[in-house]
Structure 1
Amino acid sequence: MSQAREHGSEHWPRTFRNRGVGSGAAARKRAAHLAFGTPVLPLLIVGAIVLIDLAGGAGMIWLPLLAAGPALAATTSRPLGVLCVGFLAATLSALLGSRDGVPGDELIAVLSALAAVTGASALASALRWRRERVLAAVRSVAEAAQHALLAPIPSNVGPFQVAVRYSAAAAEARIGGDLYALVPTPYGVRMIIGDVRGKGLPAVGTAALVLGVFREAAYDEPDLLTVVARIERSLARNLGYDDFVTAVVAGYPEPDRLEVVNCGHAPPLHVSSSGSVVSVDPVNPAPPLGLRALTGETPSLQVLPLADGDQLLLYTDGVTEARDHGREFYALAEGLARHVSDEPASTLAALDAELQAHVGGRLHDDAALLLLRKPDPAESGSAIAAGGSVTVPSPPRPPAAGVGCGRAAE
Structure 2
Amino acid sequence: MTVKRPTSSSVVLSWMPVAAMVVVAAADVVAGPGVGFLPLAALRPAFAGLLGGWRRVALIGAVALVLCVGLGLYDGLFQERRGFSAMASVAGVTGAGIAAAVMRGRREAELASVRSIAEVAQRVLLRPVPRTAGPLQAAVSYTSAVAEARIGGDLYEVVASPHGVRVIVGDVQGKGLTAVETAAVVLGAFREAAHDEPDLVVLGERLERSVARELEGEKFVTAVLAEIASDREVVFLNYGHPAPMVVRRDGTLDFPQPPSYALPLGLGAHGIEGPKPHRVAFAPGEQLLLYTDGVTEARDEAGSFYPLGERAHLLKASDAHGALEALRADLMRHTAGPPHDDAAMLLLRYHGHGEGKSVPIE
CA distance in 2, matches of 1:187, 1:44: 70
Report the 3-state secondary structure (helix = DSSP H, G, I; strand = E; otherwise coil) of the residue aligned with 2:198.
coil
CA distance in 2, matches of 1:238, 1:305: 35
Q: 1:200 aligned to 2:176?
A: yes
Match of 2:154 in 1: 178
Per-residue displacement from partner, 1:285-340 (whole Å, max 9, x unpaired)? 21111212177132111111112211111111111222223322222222233454
Question: What is the letter of the counterpart of residue 147 of structure 2?
Answer: A
Report if aligned partners of 1:186, 1:394 keep a CA contact under 8 Å in 2. no
Match of 1:264 in 2: 240
Match of 2:268 in 1: 292
- Seen in structure 2, the aligned counterparts of structure 1 residues 131 and 338 have a Cα distance that, compared at 3 Å, is same
CA distance in 1, matches of 2:130, 2:27: 61
Match of 2:359 in 1: 394
TM-score (norm 1): 0.79
Match of 2:254 in 1: 278
1:85 corresponds to which of 43, 46, 60: 60
Residue 175 (structure 1) shift = 1.8
Residue 216 (structure 1) shift = 0.8
CA distance in 2, matches of 1:108, 1:178: 61
Report the 3-state secondary structure (helix = DSSP H, G, I; strand = E; otherwise coil) of the residue aligned with 1:190.
strand
Q: 1:166 aligned to 2:131?
A: no
Match of 1:230 in 2: 206
CA distance in 1, matches of 2:34, 2:293: 63
Report the 3-state secondary structure (helix = DSSP H, G, I; strand = E; otherwise coil) of the residue aligned with 2:157.
strand
Question: What is the letter of the counterpart of residue 101 of structure 1?
Answer: G
Residue 180 (structure 1) shift = 0.5
- Seen in structure 2, the aligned counterparts of structure 1 residues 73 and 60 have a Cα distance that, compared at 3 Å, is same
Question: What is the letter of the counterpart of residue 293 of structure 1?
Answer: A
Report if aligned partners of 1:166, 1:369 keep a CA contact under 8 Å in 2. yes
CA distance in 1, matches of 2:196, 2:96: 63
Per-residue displacement from partner, 1:60-105 (whole Å, max 9, x unpaired)? 5332222222112212111111111111111112112222333542
Question: What is the letter of the counterpart of residue 99 of structure 1?
Answer: Y
Report if aligned partners of 1:155, 1:162 keep a CA contact under 8 Å in 2. yes
Moved over 6 A (4+): none
CA distance in 2, matches of 1:123, 1:275: 63
Residue 261 (structure 1) shift = 0.9
Report if aligned partners of 2:153, 2:175 keep a CA contact under 8 Å in 1. yes
Question: What is the letter of the counterpart of residue 303 of structure 1?
Answer: R
Q: 1:211 aligned to 2:176?
A: no
The runs of 5 or more residues in structure 2 that have no matched partner are none
Match of 2:25 in 1: 50
2:330 corresponds to which of 323, 335, 354: 354
Report the 3-state secondary structure (helix = DSSP H, G, I; strand = E; otherwise coil) of the residue aligned with 1:293.
coil
Match of 1:321 in 2: 297
Residue 127 (structure 1) shift = 1.2
Match of 2:94 in 1: 118
CA distance in 1, matches of 2:34, 2:105: 35
Per-residue displacement from partner, 1:21-56 (whole Å, max 9, x unpaired)? xxxx9xxx8xx9xx99x9433223323333444455
Percent of pairs with identical residues: 44
Residue 188 (structure 1) shift = 1.4
Match of 2:309 in 1: 333
Match of 2:38 in 1: 63
Report if aligned partners of 2:164, 2:228 keep a CA contact under 8 Å in 1. yes
Aligned length: 350
Question: 298-307 or 357-366: which moved more?
Answer: 357-366
CA distance in 1, matches of 2:216, 2:347: 32
